[in-house]
Each structure stands twice: as structure tokens, then as C-alpha cells.
């Protein structure tokens, strides 16, 4: 099996047709078909057949589909490590949920990267539901954020920080000085960051508990932008208790007194088990629970609303 053959097969699996795979790989359909034919010959398996409903994979094809992305990810990781060995530097690729990436990751990673002169850290914002896939495919080395409901048995997960989310409104908002009922909360405009669009984490959990209609939700590019709107009395926002502490102390925001708030959550680290993981992964996981790391996460200045880009945000620390 060659990498080109595996990439062709993985693209067919992902996109559902040879034509779409060829377009994605910028090659001809004949090239993709040739790669698949050679895989079939080498493995002695049809891998898949075309049906009226799409592609039907054989048991062997399904097994190869699971391995192809993993093998390609391992190849990319190996090439990266060889390149790093030549340059004398290491790269740690971190995936993080949007709430963690915006408010806790900057201080944590800046401090962690400063401890090793040969280490670069790359942070990307990802949905927690994708953590397992990214780790199994070797697309990232470690994931930080809420633990997904389902985690592959090859992945170890360890909690490292408890946190609290509170409801806040501007000082002149009608709810700033009185208790609100659950039914009244459902009629408010909720100003939310990108974490509200997922299924995993404390923010989606709060929204489900409230049974909040979508028409009352406004999703912003960042959690900081949502909090800024709340300061101007535009609605109710959710914020990490340590991230809004200064705004509450200054009186720019008022804490909401209403169920089901405040709500408690836990951030965890996820990484592949076994000795193949980069040494920097175990270094980071050990570092996460140290007093210095906890202080760095809770005192992080975060990033501004204008700089945060959840869909494509990648930041390097060195």
C-alpha cells in the first residue's frame, strides 16, 4: 500500500464517490480508480461496491477505512518529527474547545512554552465531539476541554480544572437587581459565544436545561464579544466566573440570580495511550495540574473579540 493509494481510498470513504474524491485531491477520476484497483488487488478484497443508495463497503473495506486515516496521520506525524529533529525543535499540536481556547489557553500555553526553548505549541479550536477522531488520526497530539460523552478506548482522559459558568447582565438591565424565574429567562435575549453551537460542555448543558428556543439565542464570533454586548444591556450572557470577575467588581456586569445558574463544569485532557505519543504531551498533562498552570489559566487575559476566529484559529507559541 502506498500513501497515494490510501489517500485516494480515504477520500472516497469521506466523500462517497470517486468523482468527489478526485476533485478533492485535484487528480483525475482515472487516477483515483487506479489507486483503488491496486489496493483491491494487493488486499484481495473488493473494499466496496456501488449501489443505488451509494457505496456499500465490505467488512475489509470498513476496516481499511478506519486504518487509512490513522496511517496517513502517522505518516504526517513521522515526517514532522524527522523535520523537527533536523531543525532541533519540537512541535506540540493542541486542540481545544472554544471556551477553553479563548479564556484559559493563552496564559497556559504561553507559560508552558516558555519552559522549553526547543518547543513550539500550535493551538487550534475544535468541537469536543471531534477530539477522538483528531487524536486517532494523529491530526493533533492532545485535546483540552470538556470530556465528550464517548471516548475511544485507545484514548486516556484526565480532568485537570473545575470551573464555574455564571449568568451576567449589564448594570442597567431589568434583571440586574432582582431574581428571575426560569420562564422569564426563556423570554430574554441570550448573547452566546461559539461554544453554544456544540453538544458537549457546560454552555450547551445550561441551554438544554432552560429549554431555550433558538429565536432567543444570538451567537457571536467569540465569548468576549457576547459579554461586551451584555455590558450594553443587550441581553443575558454566560461567562466563566474567573473571566468576568473584574467586570463584576467594577460594576460593568451584574451577576444573575436565577436557576439553573451558576453551573459547574470540568475541563479534561485527552491523549492517545502508549509510548508513541510525543514526550511533550506527557509534559503538558503533568503541568496542567500544577499551581502555576492553574493560576495562568484563571488569570489569562485571553484574546480580544476581534482576534478570536473559532473556525480557523491557529496560534503558535515558541
Give residue-wise pLDDT tens across range 276-304.
678 899 999 999 999 999 999 998 655 54
Q: Residue 179 pLDDT > 60, yes or no?
A: yes
pLDDT at residue 79, as a whole number: 72
pLDDT at residue 305, as a whole number: 44
- Answer whether the bond into residue 260 is a cis peptide, omega within 30°: yes
For range 197-205, the mean pLDDT:
93
Q: Does some domain include residue 74?
A: no
**pLDDT band at residue 258 using 50, 70 and 90 as cut-offs:** confident
C-alpha cell read off for 219: 451567537
Going by the DSSP 8-state scheme, the letter that residue 177 receives in this structure is G
Which residues, in sequence order, are CB contacts of 149 under 8 Å at separation 6+?
Answer: 200
Domain extent, residue 218, equals 164-264
Are 223 and 272 within one domain? no
pLDDT at residue 259, as a whole number: 81
Cβ proximity of 268 and 158 under 8 Å: yes
Q: Does some domain include residue 125?
A: yes
Q: Residue 311 pLDDT > 60, yes or no?
A: no
C-alpha cell read off for 201: 460542555
**pLDDT band at residue 316 using 50, 70 and 90 as cut-offs:** low
Decide which of 69, 92, 116 is a domain's last residue: 69
What are the distances in angstroms from CA 76 to CA 3, 82, 138? 10, 10, 8
Give residue-wise pLDDT tens across range 223-251.
999 999 999 999 999 999 999 999 999 99
Are 231 and 299 within one domain? no
pLDDT at residue 315, as a whole number: 55
Are 259 and 313 within one domain? no
Tell me, what CATH number does 200's domain have?
Answer: 3.40.190.10
Which residues, in sequence order, are CB contacts of 27 under 8 Å at separation 6+?
Answer: 8
Q: Does some domain include residue 101?
A: yes
pLDDT at residue 61, as a whole number: 85
C-alpha cell read off for 221: 464570533
Q: Does some domain include residue 230?
A: yes
Decide which of 69, 91, 123 is a domain's last residue: 69
Per DSSP, the three-state class of 265 is: strand
Average pLDDT, the chain: 87
Q: Does some domain include residue 153?
A: yes
Lowest mean pLDDT among 11-15, 159-163, 305-309: 305-309
Which residues, in sequence order, are CB contacts of 277 under 8 Å at separation 6+?
Answer: 141, 271
Per DSSP, the three-state class of 21 is: helix
pLDDT at residue 265, as a whole number: 95
How many structural domains comprise the chain? 3
Q: Residue 24 pLDDT > 60, yes or no?
A: yes
Are 155 and 270 within one domain? yes
Q: Does some domain include residue 75?
A: no
Are 271 and 256 within one domain? no
**Alpha helices (H) in 137-201, listed in sequence order:** 182-185
Give the separation between CA 25 and CA 32, rounded to whole angstroms: 9
Lowest mean pLDDT among 41-55, 121-135, 163-177, 263-277: 41-55
Give residue-wise pLDDT tens across range 46-104.
988 888 777 788 888 888 887 887 787 777 767 766 766 666 678 899 999 999 999 99
Cβ proximity of 6 and 72 under 8 Å: yes
Cβ proximity of 105 and 143 under 8 Å: no
Which residues, in sequence order, are CB contacts of 215 under 8 Å at separation 6+?
Answer: none
Give residue-wise pLDDT tens across range 126-141.
999 999 988 988 889 9
Give the separation between CA 79 and CA 222, rounded to whole angstroms: 34
Amino acid at each position: 500500500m502506498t500513501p497515494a493509494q490510501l489517500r485516494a481510498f480515504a477520500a472516497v470513504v469521506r466523500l462517497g464517490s470517486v468523482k468527489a474524491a478526485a476533485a478533492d485531491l485535484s487528480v483525475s477520476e482515472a487516477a483515483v480508480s487506479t489507486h483503488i484497483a491496486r489496493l483491491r488487488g494487493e488486499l484481495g478484497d473488493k473494499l466496496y461496491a456501488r449501489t443505488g443508495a451509494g457505496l456499500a463497503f465490505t467488512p475489509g473495506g470498513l476496516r481499511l477505512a478506519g486504518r487509512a486515516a490513522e496511517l496517513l496521520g502517522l505518516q504526517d506525524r513521522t515526517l514532522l518529527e524527522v523535520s523537527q529533529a533536523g531543525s532541533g525543535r519540537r512541535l506540540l499540536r493542541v486542540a481545544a474547545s472554544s471556551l477553553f481556547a479563548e479564556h484559559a489557553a493563552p496564559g497556559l500555553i504561553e507559560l508552558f512554552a516558555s519552559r522549553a526553548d526547543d518547543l513550539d505549541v500550535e493551538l487550534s479550536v475544535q468541537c469536543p465531539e471531534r477530539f477522538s477522531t483528531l487524536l486517532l488520526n494523529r491530526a493533533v497530539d492532545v485535546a483540552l476541554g470538556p470530556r465528550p460523552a464517548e471516548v475511544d478506548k485507545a484514548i486516556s482522559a484526565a480532568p485537570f480544572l473545575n470551573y464555574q459558568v455564571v449568568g451576567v447582565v449589564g448594570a442597567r438591565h431589568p434583571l440586574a437587581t432582582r431574581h428571575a424565574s426560569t420562564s422569564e429567562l426563556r423570554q430574554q435575549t441570550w448573547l452566546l459565544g461559539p461554544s453554544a453551537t456544540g453538544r458537549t460542555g457546560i454552555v450547551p448543558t445550561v441551554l438544554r436545561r432552560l429549554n431555550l428556543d433558538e429565536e432567543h439565542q444570538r451567537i457571536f464570533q467569540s465569548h468576549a464579544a457576547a459579554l461586551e454586548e451584555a455590558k450594553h444591556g443587550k441581553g443575558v450572557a454566560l461567562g466563566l466566573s474567573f473571566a468576568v470577575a473584574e467586570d463584576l467588581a467594577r460594576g460593568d456586569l451584574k451577576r444573575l440570580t436565577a436557576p439553573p445558574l451558576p453551573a459547574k463544569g470540568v475541563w479534561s485532557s485527552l491523549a492517545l495511550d502508549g509510548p508513541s505519543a510525543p514526550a511533550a504531551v506527557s509534559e503538558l498533562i503533568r503541568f496542567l495540574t500544577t499551581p502555576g498552570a492553574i493560576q495562568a489559566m484563571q488569570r489569562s487575559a485571553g484574546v480580544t473579540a476581534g482576534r478570536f476566529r473559532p473556525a480557523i484559529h491557529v496560534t503558535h507559541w515558541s
